[in-house]
Structure 1
C-alpha cells in the first residue's frame, strides 16, 4: 500500500500505552521496598515515563494536525490551542485548586494556574503544590511552539524530503547526547535536584530541553504520514522493533551506569521511546498493539491523565509500613493502586470528558461549515488519541 492511498485512522494502542507510562511514574514515587537491585532500579527509573509522554505528544499532535498547519497555520492555531486548553486545563485546574486548598491557601497559586511553574529555577515552586503538574507546564509551552514548528519544517523542505527529515532528527539526538555528556563530565553532575544548575533542572524539567523530545515525536509522525510505505514485510520488521525497543528501555532503566549519570534524565530514553511509539503505530496487528487496543486498557489510557495528576496528591492515603513483610506490602500497594485507578476513571468520566465537551460546544456555532473532526485526546498531560487525518 502506498503512502498516498493509505488511510490514517485511530491508533488506540497508543492510548493504552499511556497507562503503562503513567504506571512507571507511579512506581518511581511508590517503589516496592525489599526487592533486588535490578527491580529497584526498574522502579526508580520510572520517571522516564515523562520523556515518553513528551515524545508521544509531538507524535499525536502532528499525526492529527500536520496537513492543517502545513496549509493554513494562522487559521488553524486558534481552534488548535482552544482544543488543547479544553482537554487539559479543566482537570488540571481542578487538581491545582484542590492541592492549594489542602495547603491552606498560603502558597501563591498564580504560577500554577497559569501553568508557568516549570520555568522557575526553584524546585520548590516548579514542583510545588502537586509535583507532577510541572510537566503540564512544559506541555503548555510545547503546544505553543507547535504552530511554528510545522511551517518552519515546511520551509526547510523536511516535510517533503526524507533525507532532510533524517538530518533534523539526527541533529536533535546529537544535541540531547551532547547536553547529557556535558552534565555527566562536568562538576555539575554532582549537584542535587534542588540546585538551579543541576542536570535535573536543565535536562529533566526545563521546557526548552523538553522541546527536543517533542520535536522527535513530530519528526516520527511526519515520517509515518509522509514517507513510510506500508507492506507486510515492513510491518513485520516494525513489529520486531517493538520488542527490541521495550527490551532496550528495560535495559536502560536497570543500568547502574546510566542511572549514575545525566543521561538518565532524558537522552538515554529518547530514541527507544521514539522507536516504540512508531512501531506501535505501524504494527497495529501485532500482539502487543492488540493488547493495548482492548477496551479496558484503552479506558485506563484515557484516564491516565487523571491518574498522573492525582497519584502524588493523594499519597497520604498510602502509609508505608517499615516492618511489614513483602506479601503485606504488595497487597497494601495493590489496594492503593486500585484506589488511584478508580478515582482517575471517575475523574475522567465526571470532570475531564464533560468539561471538554462543554468547552468545545461553546465554539461549535462559530466553526466554519467545513467538516471538523473533534480531538479525541494528552501528556502526562494526556495524549490525544489519533483520529482521522485532519483531527
Structure 2
C-alpha cells in the first residue's frame, strides 16, 4: 500500500462525526442512532499543556547538575527536587497520550500519509532546529563536556533516542530526546490509524486495557532483562542509565503511550468512553502523583500516572465538546498552551545559559527563587518569539503542498 493511500480510506473528520455506528471494514452495519457532534478545537487541552511544561521547568531547575544549580541551601534544593521527582512520570505520558488523542480527534477524511507527514514536519522541525542551534551556540560545553560530531548529527536529525547512551540522548538540547521519540510516533501513525479503524467500537475497552497492561509490564521487563549500568543522576545509584533509556526513552516502548492516547481518542469520538469529569480526574492524578514518589523508580516513571492522565485528557476534550467551563480554556491559558512547545524546547537552554552568566556562586533561597522567576519570564518571552516568528508562520506556509495551493488559484 502506498503512502498516499494509508490515510485516504477516510475516518473521523473535524466536522461533526457519527458515533458508534461509524462503519469500518471490521464494523457491522451502522445502527440508526449516531454519536455526539464534534467540535474542531479543544482549548482546554491546549491550556493544559503549559502547566505540564511548567512542571518540567521546575524539575529541571533543581537538578543536581553544576550547569543548573542555584541554591546555596542544599536542603531546600533537595526538598524541591524530591517533591518534583515524579514530574517525568506525569508529564511525558501526558504529552505522548495527548499527541495520539489529538491526532485521532482531528484526523481528516480523505487525508493521505504524505500530507499528514508534511504538516507534522512543518510544525515540529523548524522550531526544533532553531532551538538546537541556540543550545549549540549558547551552552555547548558549559557542563564540562562537549558534543561529539556523531551526537551533533544524531540530535540534528532526531535520531538520538534510538541510541542506548544517555549522554547522547541528552546531547546539545537536553529535552530534544522526546521530539526524537515523537518523530517515530508520527512516522508510525498512518499505519496505526488503519489498524485502529478496524477495531470494533465495543472492543476498544479491551485494547485500552491491553495497552495499559503492556505499559505496566515495561518496568518489570526492564528490571529483569536490562543490565544496571551507571546512574542517570549523581548520588542516585538506583536510577540506572540503562534502565532509563530502555523504559523511558526508547521509542518503541513509548509508542505504547501514544497508542493509548489514540485508543482513548477513538473511544471518546465513538461515544464509548465513561467520563468522570475533570475534577475527579484531577484528584486522581494528584493522588497518583503522590503515589509515584513512593514506588520503585521505573514504576513511577511509566505506569502510576498514566490512567489518571488519560482520564483528564478525555474529560477536557468532552468538556470542550459540550461547551462547559474549565479553568484552562480562557485566553491566557490557551495562549500559554500555544507557546508551550516552544517553551519546552528553549527552557533548558535558558537555565544553563543563565547559570553561565552568573558564574560559579550559589545564592540564598529568596535570591535563587527570584532568579528562577526571571528565567521563567525569559523562557516565556523567548518561546513567544519562537512561536510567533518561526512555528506559526512556517506551519501555515509549509503545511500545504505548493502544487495544491497553486492549483486552487488557477481558473
1:30 deviates by: 0.6
1:161 aligns with 2:201: yes
1:368 deviates by: 8.5
Q: After TM superposition, list the pairs within 5 Å mapping 1:143-182 onto structure 2.
A: 143-155=186-198, 158=199, 160-162=200-202, 164-182=203-221
Distance 2:114 2:335 in 1: 29
Asked if the contact 1:28–1:45 (Cα under 8 Å) also holds between the matched residues in 2, the reply is no
SS of alignment partner, residue 290 of structure 1: coil
Q: After TM superposition, list the pairs within 5 Å mapping 1:99-248 onto structure 2.
A: 99-102=135-138, 103=140, 107-108=149-150, 109-155=152-198, 158=199, 160-162=200-202, 164-184=203-223, 188=227, 192-193=231-232, 198-228=242-272, 237-248=276-287
1:324 deviates by: 3.4
SS of alignment partner, residue 44 of structure 1: coil
Larger proportion of helix? 1
Distance 1:56 1:354 in 2: 23
1:274 aligns with 2:310: yes
| Greater gyration radius | 2
Distance 1:129 1:180, change over 3 A: same
1:288 deviates by: 10
Q: After TM superposition, list the pairs within 5 Å mapping 1:226-375 onto structure 2.
A: 226-228=270-272, 237-253=276-292, 255=293, 257-258=294-295, 260-284=296-320, 290-315=326-351, 316-318=353-355, 319=358, 324-360=363-399, 362-363=401-402, 365-366=404-405
Distance 1:99 1:335, change over 3 A: closer
1:7 aligns with 2:38: yes
TM-score by length of 1: 0.80
Higher relative contact order (CA 8 A, sep 6+): 1
Distance 1:272 1:120 in 2: 30
Asked if the contact 1:200–1:265 (Cα under 8 Å) also holds between the matched residues in 2, the reply is no
**Per-residue CA distance 1:76-105 (angstroms, 9 max, x = gap):** 111111000011110101122333344498
1:20 to 40, 44, 51: 51
SS of alignment partner, residue 129 of structure 1: coil
RMSD after superposition: 3.1
Distance 1:199 1:90, change over 3 A: same
* Structure 2 alignment gaps of length 5 or more: 1-18, 20-32, 63-70, 142-146, 234-238
1:286 deviates by: 10
TM-score by length of 2: 0.76
Asked if the contact 1:189–1:261 (Cα under 8 Å) also holds between the matched residues in 2, the reply is no
1:150 deviates by: 1.7
Asked if the contact 2:226–2:242 (Cα under 8 Å) also holds between the matched residues in 1, the reply is no
Asked if the contact 2:342–2:384 (Cα under 8 Å) also holds between the matched residues in 1, the reply is yes
Distance 1:59 1:198 in 2: 29
